[in-house]
Every structure is written in structure tokens, then in C-alpha cells.
């Protein structure tokens, strides 16, 4: 197989080919991703017997993680929207933050929700609020999409007990409680700068491909029906989140007990969303005028293409991962004389971009730098937070999350790059700046 600098060249050429197929030739993203995945595997010299299995395994592993989630999430969202629950929640956000501050409110809501809930699940659950808020405020859909996506990914990378930050805290020997506290302190400005401020900026300059559908959705829900209460609307939205959170709490409070096992099953993201979907179908029925069969059909049609594209993104990512580009980049970067916090950020950022997985980037970087903390003379918490900040941005088409945001946000590839990828990069830099600000109080703040 190809090794050394040519790996980077091939990776960049693969991305260029992917963008050319999708943007210039208008080839369907699913087909483009699968084609580039196979072509890249052949170019890097992967044994022919391994090419197909690598692509299909990457596709299957990705859908194993989010396939059921996407299907249930679309149905769950369909019933929330049809019942008017989404509109009620949007009205509450507007009342709390005001029309101008509603994107910041949505972003901070995402930051809170993504602490106990995986990014994919949280985006699927909350994405229904975007169009409703945009309709009521007149603020661009793009601004809300950016605020929500960045808010979710920031806490997904910065705040335990999500897997990435949790492993980073363990590998760096950080006190978990302090790591969570400082992670939240870094997450808030990152969300406001990368999600809200940049979201407002890009929303004024980039027309959203799905804005025409906002009015269509509103007219569809203009039919007479029993009005749902705000309390029930929030209860339905929070149900899967609470179930997943109970799983997290039970593991911490009652480890290795029957209680944690029970809540571990109920709070599994797929089971939690299945329970919530069934409850929604039953409880929301009095508030819906459309037939269930129509709602199912619309949801399944939407979920099908989302699953295909998300799985194909995972297939492409698996090929890149198998190429060894991540190991090569780390070996190259270790020889450079760069401040350790910045080096940790760059390590994590490069792996995030090249491998497509934020969690893999965080785990890999902390596994390498964690054992070296004694020789580096740096606070374990600061080093861990710098690693986490690096995992936020530069989500590319080899990341399944890129396609979740693109499809559920109804963004083109170009729009996703400008809003999600660049917004995440800005949020990551903001988090890193906050880490450096915390380092100024070394010896004053506990753990720093």
C-alpha cells in the first residue's frame, strides 16, 4: 500500500474528486461517495480482496450506529411536527430569548442536550425546530441550522460524559468533575461565536436551499385541529433525552447493578427513541388531522436517502482510516517545535479531518499525548481540553455527521461546508482560545 506523503496527496485528490462529482457533474452524493471510496481504495494499493469488504464494512458499521436512529428520528419528528408540538416549542424559545436571540437560544439548547445525548440523535430530535423558528422570526434557516449543529457538536466534543471527552479525561489523568466544569466554560463561548455569531453572518450571505419548504410546511399544518399544550410539547421532545440521560446517571450512581442494567437498556439511544416514537404515535394522535399511514410514508421516504448517504460517508471514511494517513500525520507532526497545547489541538484537528470521526480523533490523540504529560509540564486538564477543541471542526464528507447535518438541514454540499464545516472550525478555535485564557490562571484555578 501507498505510504508517506503520497497518502496526503491521495486524500486531497479524493476530496477534490468527490466535490467535482457532486458540485460540477451533479452526481447523486450516495453514488459519488461509493464511487470515490472504491477508487481511493484502489489508488492507495489496498489488496483487491479487501477493497469491497472495507467499503461495505464501513457502510454497515456506520448504519449500525445511526441507521435505526435515523429511521425512528424521522418518524418521531414527523409526528411532533404534524401535531403542532414543534410550533409550540418554537414559540417558547422565542418568548425566552426574543426573536433576535432565538438562534443563540437554539444553539445553547443544543449544547445542553448534546451532553447526555449523542450528536446524531440530538440533531435528528431538534432539527424540526429550525423551520418553525425561521418562519416565526424571519431569520434565515441557515442561521438556525448552523447554531444548532455547532451547539451540538461543541458539547459532544468538550463535555463528558460523551465518550470522546470521557476517554480524554481518563487518558490525561484529569479530575473528571473539574474536566466537565472547564469543558462547559469552553463550550459556551465556542457555541456563541461559531454557532450564533457566525451563523447570523452566514445566514445573511448564503441562501438556504430549503427555505421554500417552510411555507409549505406551515400551510400543511394550517388545518383545524385540537391545539396541543406547550407542556405536552416539551414533554414529548424531552422524553428521549430524559431516557438517555437516565442511562448516563444510573451508570454513575449505581454502577454494575440491576438498576443501571435496566436503565442502560431503556436509555440506549435506539430503544429510547423507539419508546418515544411509540408514545408520540399514541399520545399525539388527537392533535393530528393526517392519517398515520401518510405520515409513515413521508417519514420513510425521507429516511431512506438519508441512510444511504450517511452510510456511504462512513464507507469513504473507513477507506481513509484503513490507508494509515492518521498515523503518518501524527508521526510527522511530533517532530515540529510547537507549543504543546497548540500541538494537541492540531493533532486532533488533523485526525478529525482525515479520519472523519471526532471520537476517534480525541481517543487517538489523547492516547499518544496522555502518557507524556509528566514530561510536558502542562496541566492535564488544559491538555485534554485542547485535544477536545481540536475535534470540533473541519467535518468533511468522510464524516457521517456531515451528511446528517446536510440531509436533515436540507443543505447542499457547498452550504454544508460553509455553514457546518467552517462554523465548527471557528468554534474549535474559540474553544482553544478559551483554553489558553484558562492557562493564564495557572496555579490560581483548581486543576489548572
CA distance 176 to 419: 32
Indicate if the pLDDT at residue 236 is higher than 60.
Answer: yes
Supply the pLDDT for residue 332. 72
In terms of average pLDDT, the best of 129-138, 173-182, 184-193 is 184-193
* Percent with pLDDT over 90 in the chain: 30
Q: Which residue has the higher pLDDT, 389 or 306?
A: 389
Supply the pLDDT for residue 209. 56
Supply the pLDDT for residue 222. 43
Supply the pLDDT for residue 329. 67
307-333 pLDDT, tens digit per residue, is 888 788 778 878 887 888 767 766 776
CA distance 191 to 196: 7
Contact 359, 384 (CB under 8 A): no
In terms of average pLDDT, the best of 326-330, 374-378, 383-387 is 383-387
279-298 pLDDT, tens digit per residue, is 999 999 999 988 889 989 88
107-163 pLDDT, tens digit per residue, is 988 887 776 566 776 787 778 788 888 888 889 889 999 999 999 999 889 987 676
Indicate if the pLDDT at residue 59 is higher than 60.
Answer: yes
* Percent with pLDDT over 70 in the chain: 92
Supply the pLDDT for residue 418. 93
Average pLDDT of the chain to the nearest whole number: 84
Supply the pLDDT for residue 178. 85
The string over 316-332, giving b where at least 16 C-beta atoms fall within 10 Å of a residue's C-beta and e elsewhere, is bbbbbbbbebbebbbee
What is the rounded average pLDDT of the residues 383-411?
Answer: 88
CA distance 13 to 40: 9
CA distance 316 to 287: 42
Q: How far is CA 77 from CA 84, 89, 102, 228, 277, in A?
A: 11, 13, 20, 15, 9
Supply the pLDDT for residue 44. 92
Coil, helix or strand at residue 179: helix
What is the rounded average pLDDT of the residues 405-410?
Answer: 85
Contact 124, 404 (CB under 8 A): yes
Supply the pLDDT for residue 215. 35
Supply the pLDDT for residue 211. 43
Residue 409 banded pLDDT, cuts 50, 70, 90: confident
DSSP structure string for 263-318? HHHHTSHHHHHHHHHHHHHHHSGGG--S-HHHHHHHHHHHHHHHHHHHHHHHHHHH
| Domain segments of the chain as ranges | 5-439
Q: Among 25-29, 102-106, 323-327, name the one with the lowest average pLDDT.
A: 323-327
Indicate if the pLDDT at residue 212 is higher than 50.
Answer: no
Q: Among 40-54, 169-183, 229-243, 348-362, name the one with the lowest average pLDDT.
A: 348-362
Indicate if the pLDDT at residue 341 is higher than 70.
Answer: yes
CA distance 366 to 274: 34
What is the rounded average pLDDT of the residues 412-419?
Answer: 91
Q: Which residue has the higher pLDDT, 216 or 245?
A: 245
Short-list 154, 139, 117, CA closest to 240: 117
Ramachandran sector of residue 324 (left: φ over 0; alpha: ψ -120 to 50; beta: rest)? left
Q: Among 199-208, 296-305, 344-353, 360-369, name the one with the lowest average pLDDT.
A: 360-369
Supply the pLDDT for residue 41. 93
Residue with cell 440530538: 122
Residue with cell 492507495: 44
Say how many C-beta atoms besides its own lie within 10 A of residue 197's C-beta.
Answer: 20
CA distance 157 to 428: 10
Indicate if the pLDDT at residue 384 is higher than 90.
Answer: yes
Q: Which three cell numbers stand for residue 16?
A: 477534490
What is the rounded average pLDDT of the residues 416-439?
Answer: 95
Amino acid at each position: 500500500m501507498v505510504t508517506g506523503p503520497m497518502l496526503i496527496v491521495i486524500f486531497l485528490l479524493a476530496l477534490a474528486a468527490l466535490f467535482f462529482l457532486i458540485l460540477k457533474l451533479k452526481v447523486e452524493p450516495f453514488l459519488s461517495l461509493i464511487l470515490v471510496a472504491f477508487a481511493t481504495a484502489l489508488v492507495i494499493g489496498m489488496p483487491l480482496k479487501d477493497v469491497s469488504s472495507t467499503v461495505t464494512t464501513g457502510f454497515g458499521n456506520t448504519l449500525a450506529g445511526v441507521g435505526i436512529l435515523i429511521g425512528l428520528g424521522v418518524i418521531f419528528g414527523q409526528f411532533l411536527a404534524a401535531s403542532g408540538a414543534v410550533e409550540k416549542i418554537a414559540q417558547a424559545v422565542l418568548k425566552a430569548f426574543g426573536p433576535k436571540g432565538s438562534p443563540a437560544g437554539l444553539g445553547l439548547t443544543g449544547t445542553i442536550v448534546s451532553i447526555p445525548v449523542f450528536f446524531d440523535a440530538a440533531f435528528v430530535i431538534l432539527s424540526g425546530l429550525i423551520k418553525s423558528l425561521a418562519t416565526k422570526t424571519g431569520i434565515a434557516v441557515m442561521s438556525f441550522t448552523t447554531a444548532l449543529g455547532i451547539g451540538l457538536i461543541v458539547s459532544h466534543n468538550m463535555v463528558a460524559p460523551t465518550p470522546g471527552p470521557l476517554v480524554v479525561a481518563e487518558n490525561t489523568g484529569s479530575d473528571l468533575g473539574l474536566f466537565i466544569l472547564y469543558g462547559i466554560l469552553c463550550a459556551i463561548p465556542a457555541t456563541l461565536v461559531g454557532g450564533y455569531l457566525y451563523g447570523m453572518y452566514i445566514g445573511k450571505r448564503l441562501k438556504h436551499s430549503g427555505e421554500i419548504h417552510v411555507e409549505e410546511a406551515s400551510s400543511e399544518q394550517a388545518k383545524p385541529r385540537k391545539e396541543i399544550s406547550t407542556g405536552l410539547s416539551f414533554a414529548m421532545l424531552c422524553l428521549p433525552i430524559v431516557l438517555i440521560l437516565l442511562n448516563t446517571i444510573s451508570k454513575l450512581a449505581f454502577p454494575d447493578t440491576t438498576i443501571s442494567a435496566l436503565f442502560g437498556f431503556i436509555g440506549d439511544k435506539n430503544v429510547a427513541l423507539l419508546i418515544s416514537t411509540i408514545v408520540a404515535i399514541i399520545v399525539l394522535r388527537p392533535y393530528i388531522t393526517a392519517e398515520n399511514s401518510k405520515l409513515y410514508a413521508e417519514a420513510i421516504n425521507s429516511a431512506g436517502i438519508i441512510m444511504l448517504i450517511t452510510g456511504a460517508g462512513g464507507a469513504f471514511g473507513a477507506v481513509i482510516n484503513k490507508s494509515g494517513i492518521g498515523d503518518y500525520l501524527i508521526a510527522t507532526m511530533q517532530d515540529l517545535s510547537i507549543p504543546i497545547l497548540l500541538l494537541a489541538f492540531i493533532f486532533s484537528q488533523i485526525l478529525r479531518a482525515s479520519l472523519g470521526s471526532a471520537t476517534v480523533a480525541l481517543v487517538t490523540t489523547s492516547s499518544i499525548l496522555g502518557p507524556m504529560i509528566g514530561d510536558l509540564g502542562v496541566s492535564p486538564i488544559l491538555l485534554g481540553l485542547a485535544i477536545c477543541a481540536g475535534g470540533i471542526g473541519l467535518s468533511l464528507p468522510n464524516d457521517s455527521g456531515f451528511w446528517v447535518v446536510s440531509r436533515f438541514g436540507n443543505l447542499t454540499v457547498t452550504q454544508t461546508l460553509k455553514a457546518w464545516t467552517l462554523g465548527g472550525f471557528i468554534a474549535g478555535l474559540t474553544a482553544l482560545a478559551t483554553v489558553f485564557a484558562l492557562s493564564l490562571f495557572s496555579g490560581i484555578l483548581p486543576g489548572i
